[in-house]
């Protein structure tokens, strides 16, 4: 459980040091035993994969001074201090100084082991979070916002960056929860318009009576309740980007007016005869087939062809399942920080459930499942993750390949690319491991 992690144990009494070192080693914990704090210093650094256990009464630098030293090296490394019997004041002082815990002499081996294991678990968890955070921080620019290493997501990022440098209007097509607004925001943030307004309007969330006023604005007195001038969404986005989400739900009457704005880049407020020039990029987002709707006369064909120039097609998550682990870990860490909870360990069976699920709610569903996972709520109801039933052996084989690759990557990360440990963790022979690494284009060196 604690492979790769160790206890730096400081005790000047040789007999006690030898006895407690054996006690730790019998439970599978690696120990670096030191006779003094000074001897331990070379083993103590900010990236230490382990914890410190030290007696307080030591020749030279004592346990409290060692604790003070560790708070400057890395306060996240748990330090356990061993105090003399009845020295309550010393224990209180140690806890106030930042000690993870203290053990009062005499103590049982069980108490010693239990305290050490709890501290190690905390360190393992903390380093896992730091590793994931470092991975996410290494991704720069658009990769921070649009997570995913699948070929389809790489293409989306390339298309976004290519279109962001132009002034072209863009249509984003994707199922609910695929991140259409996030992609629109990336188009804006990576364009020359980034310093101006990004204005989002959900066309399906407004009653028709308010739609025209929201989109085009109005002058004072334009209608009964118009007591003062209101700048509409289009004008407010001047110089920036206007996102029209769920554009398929825009009433046909307003589609005509929007088409005019797109063609002339001018807007006329309600109650005014003056046209205001606007410099905007329009991003339309839809989950529907607008061409099919136009053929059914439910969407204007001229507006469709005006918008259907630069199109970004967002892949559903079921077609890029190799991105699920990264997305899930990302949202789990976000949720843990937001709710003030510990980051739960992602187990093999849980990963298999994640990879087997079809994710009809796409990325949004992953985020919701991650929230419930952190809050330790049952994954029941609409967001449940049953094992998906796939049609066709090729689909099943592809799914199994994805699961296998993810489990191998997890083992490589956990065991720092050590082939023997990875093969043992996966329960396969080393030759089999190398065959699978070759098949999945994985390199051991990149995990060391």
Least confident residue range of 36-50, 282-296, 349-363:
349-363
Q: What is the mean pLDDT of residues 3-13?
A: 93
pTM above 0.85, yes or no: no
pLDDT band at 200 (very low <50, low <70, confident <90, very high): very high
pLDDT of residue 388: 38
pLDDT in tens, 249-273: 998 888 998 899 889 999 988 888 8
Euclidean distance between CA atoms 26 and 152, whole angstroms: 49
What are the residue ranges of helices labelled H in 340-446? 348-356, 362-374, 393-414, 419-426, 430-439
98: closest CA among 82, 123, 81?
A: 81
Token pair, residue 120, equals: 């190690």
Whether 234 and 216 have beta carbons less than 8 Å apart is answered as yes
pLDDT band at 391 (very low <50, low <70, confident <90, very high): very low
pLDDT in tens, 299-330: 999 999 999 889 999 999 999 988 888 899 88
Phi, psi of 406 (to 5 degrees): -65, -45
**Greatest alpha-carbon span in the chain:** 96
Least confident residue range of 34-38, 104-108, 373-377:
373-377
Residue 213 pLDDT exceeds 70: yes
Domains, the chain: 6-136 (3.40.50.2300), 151-315 (3.40.50.300), 317-387 (1.10.8.60), 390-448 (1.10.10)
pLDDT in tens, 395-433: 555 666 777 787 888 788 888 888 888 888 888 888 888
The torsion angle over the Cα atoms of residues 425, 431, 433 and 436, rounded to 10 degrees, is -160
């Amino acid at each position: 459980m604690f492979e790769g992690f160790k206890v730096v144990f400081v005790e000047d009494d040789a007999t006690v040091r030898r006895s407690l070192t054996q006690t730790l080693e019998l439970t599978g914990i690696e120990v670096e035993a030191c006779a003094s704090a000074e001897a331990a210093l070379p083993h103590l650094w900010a990236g230490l994969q382990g914890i410190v256990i030290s007696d307080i009464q030591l020749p030279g630098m004592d346990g409290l001074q060692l604790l003070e030293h560790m708070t400057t090296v890395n306060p996240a490394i748990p330090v356990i201090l061993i105090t003399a019997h009845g020295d309550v004041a010393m224990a209180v002082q140690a806890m106030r100084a930042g000690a993870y815990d203290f053990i009062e002499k005499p103590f049982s081996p069980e108490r010693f082991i239990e305290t050490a294991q709890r501290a190690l678990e905390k360190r393992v968890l903390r380093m896992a979070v730091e590793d994931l955070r470092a991975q996410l921080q290494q991704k720069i620019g658009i990769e921070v916002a649009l997570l995913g290493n699948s070929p389809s997501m790489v293409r989306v990022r390339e298309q976004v960056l290519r279109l962001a440098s132009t002034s072209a209007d863009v249509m984003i097509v994707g199922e609910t929860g695929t991140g259409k607004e996030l992609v629109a925001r990336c188009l804006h943030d990576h364009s020359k318009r980034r310093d101006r307004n990004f204005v989002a309007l959900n066309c399906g969330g407004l009653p028709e009576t308010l739609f025209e006023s929201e989109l085009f604005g109005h002058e004072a007195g334009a209608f009964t309740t118009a007591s003062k001038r209101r700048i509409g969404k289009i004008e407010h986005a001047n110089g920036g980007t206007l996102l029209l989400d769920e554009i398929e739900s825009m009433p046909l009457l307003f589609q005509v007016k929007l088409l005019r704005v797109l063609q002339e880049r001018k807007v006329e407020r309600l109650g005014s005869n003056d046209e205001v020039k606007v410099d905007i990029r329009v991003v339309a987002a839809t989950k529907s087939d607008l061409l099919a709707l136009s053929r059914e006369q439910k969407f204007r064909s001229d507006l469709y062809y005006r918008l259907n120039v630069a199109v970004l097609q967002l892949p559903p998550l079921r077609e890029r399942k190799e991105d699920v682990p990264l997305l899930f870990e990302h949202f789990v860490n976000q949720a843990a920080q937001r709710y003030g909870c510990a980051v739960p360990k992602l187990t093999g069976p849980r990963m298999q459930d994640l990879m087997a699920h079809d994710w009809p709610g796409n990325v949004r569903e992953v985020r919701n499942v991650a929230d419930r996972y952190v809050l330790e709520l049952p994954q029941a109801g609409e967001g449940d993750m049953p094992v998906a039933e796939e049609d066709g052996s090729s689909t099943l084989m592809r799914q199994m390949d994805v699961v296998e690759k993810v489990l191998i990557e997890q083992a490589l990360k956990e065991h720092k690319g050590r082939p023997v440990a990875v093969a043992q963790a996966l329960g396969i022979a080393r030759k089999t491991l190398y065959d699978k690494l070759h098949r999945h284009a994985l390199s051991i060196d990149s995990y060391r």
